């Protein structure tokens, strides 16, 4: 599993701050609302996804890390 962006679109108010922070990871429509519900984060871009999530004043964006597996 890869890191994922999950958006609660009902909480999104269309401020587009996630897009302003990281436009490649948070596509928006013409009104400023995020257009994805769940998206995989490209490897090495996790810090950018977190920055976009932190920019959301409603807390509508969650970054889900892959679960660590206990191999021992």
**Domain assignment present for 10:** yes
CATH code, 54 = 3.30.70.20
Q: Which domain holds residue 34?
A: 4-64
Q: Is 53 exposed, middle or buried (0-12, 13-18, 19+ CB in 10 A)?
A: buried
**Domain assignment present for 71:** no
**Domain assignment present for 14:** yes
Q: Would you place residue 16 in the very low, low, confident or very high pLDDT band (cuts 50, 70, 90)? A: very high
**Domain assignment present for 72:** no
Q: How many domains, in total, are found in the chain?
A: 1
Q: What is the pLDDT of residues 45-65, one digit of tens each?
A: 999 999 999 999 999 999 999
pTM: 0.86
Res 72: pLDDT:
47
Taking the C-alpha atoms of residue 46 and residue 5, their distance in angstroms, rounded to an integer, is 9
**Domain assignment present for 34:** yes
User: Does 69 have pLDDT greater than 60?
Assistant: no
Could you say which DSSP state residue 68 is in? Answer: P
Q: What is the pLDDT of residues 31-48, one digit of tens each?
A: 999 999 999 999 999 999
């Amino acid at each position: 599993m890869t890191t994922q962006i999950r958006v609660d679109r009902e909480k999104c108010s269309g401020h587009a701050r996630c897009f302003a922070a990281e436009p490649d990871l948070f596509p928006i429509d013409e009104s400023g609302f995020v257009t994805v519900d769940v998206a995989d984060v490209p490897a090495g871009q996790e810090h950018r996804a977190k920055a976009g999530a932190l920019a959301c004043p409603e807390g509508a964006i969650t970054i889900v890390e892959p679960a660590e597996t206990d191999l021992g």
